Structure 1
Amino acid sequence: MEGELIVSSKRQILFNAFDMNCVGHQSPGLWRHPQDQSRDYNKLSYWTNLAQTLEKGLFDGLFIADVLGPYDVYGGNANAALKSGAQVPVNDPFLLVSAMAAVTEHLGFGVTAGTAYEHPFPFARRLATLDHLTNGRVGWNVVTGYLPSAARNMGNDDQMEHDRRYDHADEYLEVIYKLLEGSWEDDAVQFNRETGVFTDHTKVHNIEHEGEFFKVPGAAVTEPSPQRTPVIYQAGASTRGRAFSAKHAEATFLNSPTYELLAGSIAKTRQALVEVGRDPYDIRVFGMQTIITGATDEEAQEKYRELAQYADVEGALALMSGWMGTDFAKYDLDAPIGHIESNAIQSAAETFRKASGDGEEWTVRKLAEWTGVGGFGPVLIGSGATVAEELIKIQDETDVDGFNLAYHITPGTFEDIVEYVVPELQERGRYKTEYSDGTLRHKLFGRGDHLPESHIGAGYKLGANAAV
Structure 2
Amino acid sequence: MAEIRLNAFDMNCVSHQASGLWRHPRDRSAQYRSLRYWTDLARTLERGLFDSLFLADVLGVYDVYGHSPDAALRNGAQIPVNDPAMLISAMAGVTEHLGFGLTATLSYEHPFPFARRMSTLDHLTEGRIGWNIVTGYLNSAAKSTGKQVQTKHDQRYAIADDYMDVVYKLWEESWEQDAVLRDKQQGIFTDPSKVHRIQHDGPFFSLDAIHLAEPSPQRTPVLFQAGASARGQQFAATHAECVFVAGPSQDTVAKTVRSLRAAAQQAGRTKKTPLVFSLLTIVTAPTEEEAFAKYRDYQSYISEEGALTLLSGWTGIDFSAYKPTDPVRHIRSDAIHSAIDSLTVMNPDKIWTVGELARHAAIGGMGITFVSSPTQIVDQMEQWIDQTGVDGFNLAYAVAPETFEDIVALIVPELQRRGRYKRAYQPGTLRHKLFGAGDRLPANHAGRQTHATPPLASAQ
AA partner of residue 392 (structure 2): G
Name the CA shift for 1:423/1:461 in 2 (closer, same or farther; >3 Å). Answer: farther
Q: CA deviation at 1:139?
A: 0.1
Distance 2:35 2:315 in 1: 33
Amino acid paired to 1:434: A
Q: Does 1:90 align with 2:78?
A: no
Give the letter aligned to residue 381 of structure 1.
V
* 2:372 is equivalent to residue 382 of structure 1: yes
Asked whether the equivalents of residues 177 and 460 of structure 1 are also in contact (C-alpha less than 8 Å), the reply is no
Q: 2:394 aligns with which of 404, 413, 416?
A: 404
Partner secondary structure for residue 12 of structure 1: coil
Measured after TM superposition, the shift of residue 340 of structure 1 is 2.6
**2:154, 2:341 → 1: CA distance?**
20
Deviation at 1:360, TM superposition (A): 4.3
Structure 2 unmatched ranges of 5 or more: none
Structure 1 residues 327-353: Cα deviation after superposition (integer angstroms, max 9, x where no partner): 111223323244435xxxx5x645646
What residue is the counterpart of 2:333 in the other structure?
340
Q: Is the 8 A contact 1:256 1:262 kept in 2?
A: yes
- What is the one-letter code of the residue matched to 1:378? I
| CA distance, structure 2, for counterparts of residue 464 and residue 102 of structure 1 | 41
Q: In the TM superposition, what whole-angstrom CA distance separates every residue of 1:142-190 from its partner, at most 9, and x where no partner exists?
A: 0000011111110111110010000001111111100000111111111
Tell which deviates more after alignment, 263-272 or 353-362: 353-362
Deviation at 1:462, TM superposition (A): 12
What residue identity is the alignment partner of 2:430? L
- Match for 1:225: what amino acid? S
CA contact (8 A) 1:185 1:462 kept: no
Q: Aligned AA for 1:397?
A: Q
Q: TM-score, normalised to structure 1's length? A: 0.94
- Find the partner of 1:169 among 160, 163, 184: 160
Aligned residue pairs total 453
Q: Which amino acid in structure 2 is aligned with residue 404 of structure 1?
A: N
| Distance (Å, rounded) in 1 between the aligned partners of 2:216 and 2:284 | 39
Letter in 2 for 1:183: S
Change (3 A) 1:264 1:362: farther
Could you tell me how far apart the structure 1 residues matched to 2:356 and 2:251 are?
19
Indicate conservation of the 8 Å contact 2:283/2:370, yes or no: yes
Q: Secondary structure at the match of 1:429?
A: coil
Shift of 1:387: 0.8
Task: Give % identity.
Answer: 53
Unpaired runs of 5+ residues, structure 1, are 1-9
- Residue in 2 that maps onto 1:3: none
Partner SS for 1:431: coil
Q: What is the match of residue 145 of structure 1? A: 136
| 2:276 is the alignment partner of 1:297 | no
Once residues 351 and 160 of structure 2 are traced to their aligned partners in structure 1, the CA distance between those partners, rounded to angstroms, is: 36
Per the normalisation by structure 2, the TM-score is 0.95
Distance 2:233 2:344 in 1: 22
Match for residue 447 of structure 2 among 432, 457, 462 = 457
For 2:366 and 2:338, the matched residues in 1 are separated by 13
Alignment correspondent of 2:416: 426
Q: Give the distance between the partners of 1:316 and 1:274, measured in 2 at CA.
A: 38
Q: Work out which of the residue numbers 20, 23, 31 in structure 1 matches 2:14.
A: 23
Q: CA deviation at 1:399?
A: 0.6
Distance across 1 between alignment mates of 2:454 and 2:171: 10
Is the contact made by 1:30 and 1:311 (CA closer than 8 Å) also made in structure 2?
Answer: yes
Distance 1:229 1:447 in 2: 14
Matches within 5 A, 1:223-242: 223-242=214-233
Match for residue 275 of structure 2 among 249, 261, 284: 284
CA–CA distance in 1 between the matches of 2:453 and 2:149? 37
Secondary structure of the residue aligned to 1:191 is strand
| 1:49 maps onto 2:40 in alignment | yes
For 1:150 and 1:356, locate their aligned partners in 2 and report how far apart those are by CA, in whole Å. Answer: 33
Query: Of residues 167, 186, 189 in structure 2, which corresponds to 1:195?
Result: 186
CA distance change for structure 1 residues 160 and 362 in 2, over 3 Å: closer, same or farther? farther
Deviation above 6 Å: which 4+ runs of structure 1? Answer: 461-464
Match of 2:223, SS state, is strand
RMSD of aligned alpha carbons: 1.8
Alignment of 1:208-357 (within 5 A): 208-333=199-324, 334-337=326-329, 338-340=331-333, 349-350=337-338, 352=340, 356=344
